[in-house]
Structure 1
Amino acid sequence: MKKNWIAILVLLGLIGWGAYDYFDKADAKKQSAEDTAEEEASIPIGLKVGNRAPDFTLQNLVGEEVQLADFRGKTVLLNFWASWCPPCRIEMPHMEKFYAEYADKDAVVLAVNMTHLEDGQENVVDFLESFGSTFPHALDVTGRVTDQYQVVAYPTTYVLNAKGVITQRFQGAIDYNMMKEAYSRAANNR
């Protein structure tokens, strides 16, 4: 009988220790998440390297909402382009290649078409289809986001790390190797 009591006490002790350890780790994880959110909130929103990129919501060609914040946790190449822009045409195959090879490494290309500068959405559709683009896209129909991001040269690409912080900005076309280097820099700057 005494052995049973000892076994029960040991078992209760193990259960108690397990519960304490579980809740202690849950509290630590919660605190870590709160610290991370607080740290991210302390980063100023802006367009300079080291700023958190301003969030926005646009629609894609099929009318679905695309929000920049949905890509938090990934390295983002935020690319502003137009179908009539020759450097954009040169850059697009590089973007597609980068996206195809880096999507499984938590990287994404978010291509924002400056639709307010296009002759019509059919040009956007034709452009994306001609390059076989598979990465996410959004339409800036009013020019609000283009203005917000102070895009004056076409294309313009902002590189964001997993926290949504700008690590680089490129004005003009970039190639696959530049994208790889920008990804590496952003991924190491978490």
Structure 2
Amino acid sequence: MVKKPLAISMVVVVLMFALFAAMDKGSQPETSGSPVVHAAETGKPAPTFSLLNMEGKEVKLEDYKGKKVMLNFWATWCPPCKAEMPAMQQLYEKAGSSFEILAIAIDPENDVTGFVNEYELTFPILLDKNGTVNSNYGIISIPTTFLIDEDGKMQKKHIGMMTLEQMEEFMEP
């Protein structure tokens, strides 16, 4: 009889610890760009960032000023992310130099290289190793995609998977 209440108490304590740890994580200092925004809003400047790509080269959002950017947050374990990656690759191949796709992996501790190779992705994949950019953009669900205009302002936000047709429409002004 005592085992069941004890087990429930243990679960509650673990959940509370996890909740407090997650809340404390948000109070850590910013290390990769602009101050914490916690919810990128359309019409406002996109939070800046600097992340490493798959080759270990630093990539900054400001490097793409003057160009439209489709910014996608994803993870290797996310089924909708896996489903939209082939469409994103098709869009990237069709787009040429008309805009850029930046895909931010929020789980770089997993086999991102294997994922990229399996899906034959050629657009830039950035690694958010400490979760700062994910937090700055207020990501609560993946995939989440933003359209950033040539002036660095947020124009659109889409939560969830997109088809190629939806991506093409998303990239229109």
Q: What is the TM-score with the length of structure 1 in the denominator?
A: 0.68
Aligned to 1:171: 159
Please tell me the residue identity of whatever aligns with 2:100: V
Identical aligned pairs, as a percentage?
Answer: 35
Secondary structure of the corresponding residue to residue 172 of structure 2? helix
**Following TM superposition, by how much is the alpha carbon of 1:175 offset from its aligned partner in structure 2, in angstroms?**
1.4
Structure 1 unaligned blocks of 5 or more: 1-44, 186-190
Rounded Cα–Cα distance in structure 2 between residues aligned with 1:162 and 1:152: 26
The structure with the larger Rg is 1
Aligned to 1:86: 79
State whether structure 2 residue 86 is matched by structure 1 residue 98.
Answer: no
Rounded Cα–Cα distance in structure 1 between residues aligned with 2:92 and 2:61: 17
Which has the larger helix fraction? 1
Rounded Cα–Cα distance in structure 2 between residues aligned with 1:131 and 1:73: 29
The one of 108, 125, 139 equivalent to 1:137 is: 125
State whether structure 2 residue 139 is matched by structure 1 residue 147.
Answer: no
Q: Which runs of 4+ in 1 moved over 4 A?
A: none
**Following TM superposition, by how much is the alpha carbon of 1:104 offset from its aligned partner in structure 2, in angstroms?**
2.5
Rounded Cα–Cα distance in structure 1 between residues aligned with 2:172 and 2:54: 30
**Greater RCO (CA < 8 Å, at least 6 residues apart):** 2
State whether structure 2 residue 55 is matched by structure 1 residue 62.
Answer: yes
Q: What is the TM-score with the length of structure 2 in the denominator?
A: 0.75
Please, what is the CA RMSD of the aligned residues?
Answer: 1.4
**Equivalent residue pairs, number:** 136
Structure 2 unaligned blocks of 5 or more: 1-36
